[in-house]
Structure 1
Amino acid sequence: MPAVLAAAWSLLAAAFLAALVLLPRLRRAGVVSGLFQDLVRYGKTKRGCGQRPGWLRLLQVPKRWFTHFYVVSVLWNGFLLIGLFQTEFLGGSLPSWIQHVHCFLGRDSQSEDTDSEHFSALLVLLLLWLHSCRRLAECLWTSVFSNGVIHIVQYCFGLGYYVAVGSTVLCQVPTNISNGKELSVQICWYHIVGVTMYIWASLHQHRCLVILANLRKSKSGKVVSLSHSVPFGDWFERVSCPHYFAELLIYVSMAIMLGFHNVTWWCVVMYVLFNQALAAVLCHEFYQKNFSSYPKHRKAFIPFVF
């Protein structure tokens, strides 16, 4: 197991869990509280920060720059996907610099792996790339961004995130192994379960993003408003942020595809859980504060639970 990667993702997960726990305690005025709130909030939830100092407003970029995250992901993870495919099936090898990074992060290039583990990594990297392609398309042609902003630190973190997550997938197999066995030999039942869950969660995430976008469009599809409204339909009937919940399910589906036992990827899942939970809580509070008739039965993130 790539111990360095597992430790890094665990630390990130712990940091967001701490932010989630500290959130109610750091709402009062003060420099530390202001910095904390500015770092964890973005978009519409920035309104919860109150009046921010001018120097803090200089450290923000448009929320629509979220699109850049997926551009980076499509390019980087596409590059990794091509490299892994060539290594596995065409007798090629990954660039030496990737192999050095691979070994540094804790995976022995001579370690033994089963064929299913090789296929699992290739499958997860493929679906991660497809996920990024879909999200990029949604940012470009579906979502309607307001004039919301994100902190420059959040922006830089987001750019690095998809580079890190794709590299994490690549580190689940040795870099010097290649074979040309038929894929049908390598397919296991958990691959089918994982792909099914991935498709199901992706469909619901797309539907929810379309619902959000349509709140700002006329029936003809023309953007008529940039204001916020209460969404209804699909998983919005149960939670305030079903697209965040779907994101978590997508990462859980990848953990299933890796055979359930990949500790490093479960650390990634824990990071996604706490990261998305924090964002969901802030959005949930925004809806409750700004819409007096907001459905009281809705949870923030996970239906019936949280």
Structure 2
Amino acid sequence: MAELWLVLAASFLAALLALRLPRLKTPPGRPSLSLAAVFQDLLRYGKTKSGCQPRPPQLQVFDVPKRWFYHFYVVSVIWNGSVLLLLLQSHLLSRPFPIWLQDFLSILDGVSQDQDGGDESLSVFLVCLFVWLNSCRRLKECLHISVFSGGVIHIVQYCFGLCYYVLLGLTLLCQVPTNVREGKDHRLTVCWYHVLGVLMFIWASVHQHRCHVILANLRKNKSGKVLNLDHSIPFGDWFEFVSCPHYFAELLIYLSMAVMFGFNNLTWWLVVTYVFFSQALTVKWVSLHKGLETPGNGFEKRLLEIQVSHQCCPKYC
């Protein structure tokens, strides 16, 4: 699985660098089916998809509503909840993984996870638990807090989002030591980095939730009724320090999980690297089309930063 996350991280880094190439800048003001137009249409979502330039009807066929982001978290709650249940049965009941799953994980992983003193097992369990809890929180926010505009996303982005949390669950299963997969060992050893990782996760999650509430309230009145879908300047919490605090908190959440693994799990560090480049690509794309990179006075820059915050959807978290 490490190779897969390396490829994903490298792909998003390449896309980030490709945005700087003049060849991938489409001529403004007219529809285009060039390679540049297809590439940009694949990356854009929300208002950046419809507000930058006319889009050919052939590309609009692949649009799905942006509010479908909540489907990602439905998949995660179900899939990673099943993975969590499997781990609970293994540790509490000494029940081995199904033979077909053990064989499948051996194919995915390539090497056996034999070494374990109980700390690695607890690391996998904690990360799986917090991936599931985070997905539950994000699903609740999408359904009851967030205010989505009428924006769209590409069907490829949508399909990748559906697969993303399945990949996360499989990645975690690949980290389970072989003796635990076979139901032969259910020791759980608590280490200092588990405690530190849990505290980091709680801290980042609380602030991310606050930022999502602040963004949603910008489009509502005091009674909770949605008034408009326009941008305005948010204040409070991490918005005083970071232009996209919900993305920063998301990265901290994944970093906290790397801490739970004891800082030495290469596969999870590649997951963190992928998340970083994925977020950087989104922020870079929106900033290019909102003019954030052009000089301006402080208020203008602040306003553009907030527009980036609105467009940077908190996906893959």
Q: TM-score, normalised by structure 1?
A: 0.89
- 1:61-76 map, 5 Å: 61-76=64-79
DSSP-derived class of the 1:93 partner: coil
- 1:128-277 map, 5 Å: 128-173=131-176, 174=178, 175-181=181-187, 183=188, 186-277=189-280
In structure 2, relative to structure 1, the CA distance for the partners of 1:109 and 1:88 (3 Å cut) is farther
C-alpha distance in 1, partners of 2:51/2:280? 17
Contact 2:113 2:175 in 1 (8 A): no
Quote the offset at 1:95 in angstroms: 2.3
C-alpha distance in 1, partners of 2:205/2:26? 38
1:79 matched residue in structure 2: 82
Structure 2, unpaired ranges of 5+: 310-317
Structure 1, unpaired ranges of 5+: 302-306
CA RMSD of aligned residues (A): 2.3
Quote the offset at 1:126 in angstroms: 0.3
2:105 matched residue in structure 1: 102
DSSP-derived class of the 1:266 partner: helix
C-alpha distance in 1, partners of 2:7/2:175? 19
Contact 2:208 2:245 in 1 (8 A): yes
C-alpha distance in 1, partners of 2:153/2:284? 17
DSSP-derived class of the 1:294 partner: helix
Q: 1:114 aligns with which of 114, 117, 131?
A: 117
Contact 1:60 1:149 in 2 (8 A): yes
Contact 1:238 1:298 in 2 (8 A): no
Aligned partner of 1:293: which letter?
Answer: E
C-alpha distance in 2, partners of 1:166/1:67? 18
Bigger drift between 240-249 and 104-113 goes to 104-113
Quote the offset at 1:113 in angstroms: 1.6
Q: 2:18 aligns with which of 15, 18, 22?
A: 22
Q: TM-score, normalised by structure 2?
A: 0.86
**Residue 125 (str. 1) matches residue 128 (str. 2):** yes
Contact 1:42 1:149 in 2 (8 A): yes
2:312 matched residue in structure 1: none
Quote the offset at 1:245 in angstroms: 1.2
DSSP-derived class of the 2:301 partner: coil
Would you say how many aligned residue pairs link Structure 1 and Structure 2? Answer: 294
Contact 2:210 2:237 in 1 (8 A): yes
C-alpha distance in 2, partners of 1:130/1:287? 34
Contact 1:107 1:171 in 2 (8 A): no
Contact 2:95 2:183 in 1 (8 A): no
1:89 matched residue in structure 2: 92
Quote the offset at 1:106 in angstroms: 2.0
Quote the offset at 1:283 in angstroms: 3.5
C-alpha distance in 1, partners of 2:68/2:304? 33
